């Protein structure tokens, strides 16, 4: 059981890396962080489409990662 969860953890880790790399870049946000971003204050829009989907996928993979990590800790202590 320990080896199965460890394998799942490695696979999920790789998938998290891929999901983060596939997310759209936010270069404008980085520029606003350096310049103060006053012009972007009232133009916040709801994320849609691919960006929203990738955010959800990343959150789900992160939850699976933490559950597997906690399961490994539990199994290794018992």
Domain assignment of residue 44, yes or no: no
Domain assignment of residue 42, yes or no: no
> Looking at the 3D structure of the chain, how many domains does it have?
1
Domain assignment of residue 18, yes or no: yes
pTM of the model: 0.71
Task: Output the six-digit token pair for 74.
Answer: 């539990």
Domain that holds residue 56: 1-22+49-78
Write the DSSP string, the chain: -HHHHHHHHHHHHHHHHHHHHHSPP-HHHHHHHHH--GGGTT------THHHHHHHHHHHHHHHHHHHHHHHHHHHH-
**pLDDT tens, residue by residue, 5-48:** 999 999 999 999 999 999 877 666 556 566 665 555 555 666 77
Domain assignment of residue 39, yes or no: no
């Amino acid at each position: 059981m320990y080896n199965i969860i460890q394998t799942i953890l490695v696979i999920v880790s790789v998938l998290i890396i891929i999901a983060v790399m596939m997310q759209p870049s936010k270069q404008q946000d980085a520029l606003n962080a350096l310049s103060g971003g006053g012009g972007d204050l009232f133009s916040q829009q709801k994320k849609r489409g691919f960006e929203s989907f990738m955010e959800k996928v990343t959150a789900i993979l992160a939850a699976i990662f933490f559950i597997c990590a906690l399961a490994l800790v539990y199994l290794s202590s018992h």
